[in-house]
């Protein structure tokens, strides 16, 4: 405290007096020349700083800001139809030719069908002030709740993979979205449920089976905890965890998926 009082009442006044005395001895033209030199020097310094650190300074003020949400409302959830195939045994169709009975067991008629399906999507919003480029979302972890142990446990056959972006043709499905403009949003397919009596949820990864031909993205009813990683070429990777329950009952409609908000 004593040091602060000393500076305020003794040092500062002396500096002010010395400064006034210094400039009072100068002529008006000398003061103008001095100020001009100072301004010129500051201009050179600022120009050099912008040249060296301009991109970094711009990056601090201009950047994308991705927000990822999972909502149970349209258009994040959409009821549609999806194509499929049924194989009907030959014995159930009219046959105008004879065939070995053993071979008949191995053959079936291929029948094109369609099923109702609920698609649940992630909404990705760019809250920043420049475009987000080459955005990816990875389903990095999937755990199921064990009722006996009252805790989550890892799924043995789960294979981490990127999710596919919505509204692309089947032959052009992609895990990389090229661009999301500022204040705009796009959707990424998360899971879908098909009304085919299988009572399964299917995570919308590009590849649906692993090397052992075991379904690594298809699961039955249960409570799940998902970890998503999302980022872009000009945005650092972030993580988001979502807990939800799949009832396994098509009659529940959109509420087949129930988000845990706790």
Q: Are residues 220 and 200 in the same domain?
A: yes
Is residue 115, in this structure, part of any structural domain at all?
A: no
Is residue 114, in this structure, part of any structural domain at all?
A: no
Q: Are residues 26 and 127 in the same domain?
A: no
Task: Tell me the pTM.
Answer: 0.68
Q: Are residues 253 and 132 in the same domain?
A: yes
Is residue 137, in this structure, part of any structural domain at all?
A: yes
Is residue 222, in this structure, part of any structural domain at all?
A: yes
Q: Are residues 166 and 205 in the same domain?
A: yes
- Tally of domains within the chain: 2
Is residue 148, in this structure, part of any structural domain at all?
A: yes
Q: Are residues 199 and 70 in the same domain?
A: yes
Q: Are residues 14 and 72 in the same domain?
A: no
CB atoms within 10 A of CB 186: 19
Q: Are residues 75 and 44 in the same domain?
A: no
Q: What is the pLDDT of residues 175-194, one digit of tens each?
A: 999 999 999 999 999 999 99
Is residue 106, in this structure, part of any structural domain at all?
A: no
Q: Are the beta carbons of 193 and 256 closer than 8 angstroms? A: yes
pLDDT for 168:
82
Q: Residue 186 belongs to a domain with what CATH number? A: 2.60.40
At 237, list the tokens.
Answer: 């990777």
Strands 66-70 and 108-126: antiparallel
Q: Are residues 142 and 251 in the same domain?
A: yes
pLDDT for 114:
82
Q: What is the mean pLDDT of residues 198-214?
A: 70
Q: Are residues 37 and 128 in the same domain?
A: no
Q: Which residues contact 227 (CB under 8 A, 6 or more apart)?
A: 139, 140, 141, 142, 239, 240, 241
CB atoms within 10 A of CB 212: 8
Q: Are residues 135 and 17 in the same domain?
A: no
Q: What is the pLDDT of residues 88-114, one digit of tens each?
A: 665 545 555 555 555 555 556 666 778
pLDDT band at 132 (very low <50, low <70, confident <90, very high): very high
Q: In the chain, how many H helices and how many E strands?
A: 4, 13
Is residue 210, in this structure, part of any structural domain at all?
A: yes
Domain that holds residue 40: 2-61
Is residue 72, in this structure, part of any structural domain at all?
A: yes
pLDDT for 205:
85
Q: Are residues 56 and 72 in the same domain?
A: no
Q: What is the pLDDT of residues 48-88, one digit of tens each?
A: 766 776 566 555 668 899 999 999 988 899 999 887 666 66
pLDDT for 182:
96
At 225, list the tokens.
Answer: 């905890």
Q: Are residues 22 and 131 in the same domain?
A: no
Q: What is the pLDDT of residues 215-261, one digit of tens each?
A: 678 889 999 999 999 999 999 999 999 999 999 999 999 999 999 87
Q: Are the beta carbons of 144 and 152 closer than 8 angstroms? A: yes
Residue identified by tokens 């009821």 is 79
Residue 153 to residues 4, 61, 140, 229: CA-CA distances in angstroms?
61, 42, 14, 19
The least confident of 26-30, 48-52, 211-215 is 211-215
């Amino acid at each position: 405290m004593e040091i602060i009082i000393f500076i305020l009442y003794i040092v500062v006044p002396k500096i002010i007096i010395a400064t006034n005395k210094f400039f009072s001895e100068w002529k008006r033209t000398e003061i103008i020349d001095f100020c001009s030199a100072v301004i010129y020097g500051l201009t050179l310094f600022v120009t050099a700083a912008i040249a060296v650190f301009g991109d970094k300074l711009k990056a601090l003020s201009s950047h994308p800001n991705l927000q990822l949400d999972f909502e149970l409302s349209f258009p994040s959830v959409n009821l549609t139809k999806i194509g499929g195939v049924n194989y009907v045994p030959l014995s159930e169709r009219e046959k105008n030719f004879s065939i070995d009975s053993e071979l008949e067991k191995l053959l079936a008629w291929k029948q094109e069908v369609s099923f109702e399906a609920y698609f649940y999507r992630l909404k990705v919003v760019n809250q920043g002030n420049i475009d987000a480029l080459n955005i990816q979302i990875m389903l990095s972890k999937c755990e199921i709740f064990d009722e006996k142990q009252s805790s989550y446990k890892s799924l043995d056959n789960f294979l981490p993979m990127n999710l596919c972006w919505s509204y692309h043709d089947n032959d052009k499905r992609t895990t990389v979205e090229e661009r999301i403009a500022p204040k705009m949003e796009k959707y990424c397919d998360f899971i879908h449920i098909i009304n085919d009596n299988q009572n399964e949820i299917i995570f919308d990864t590009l590849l649906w089976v692993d090397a052992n031909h075991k379904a690594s993205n298809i699961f039955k009813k249960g409570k799940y905890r998902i970890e998503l990683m999302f980022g872009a070429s000009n945005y650092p990777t972030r993580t988001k965890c979502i807990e939800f329950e799949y009832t396994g009952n098509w009659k529940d409609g959109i509420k087949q998926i129930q988000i845990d908000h706790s």
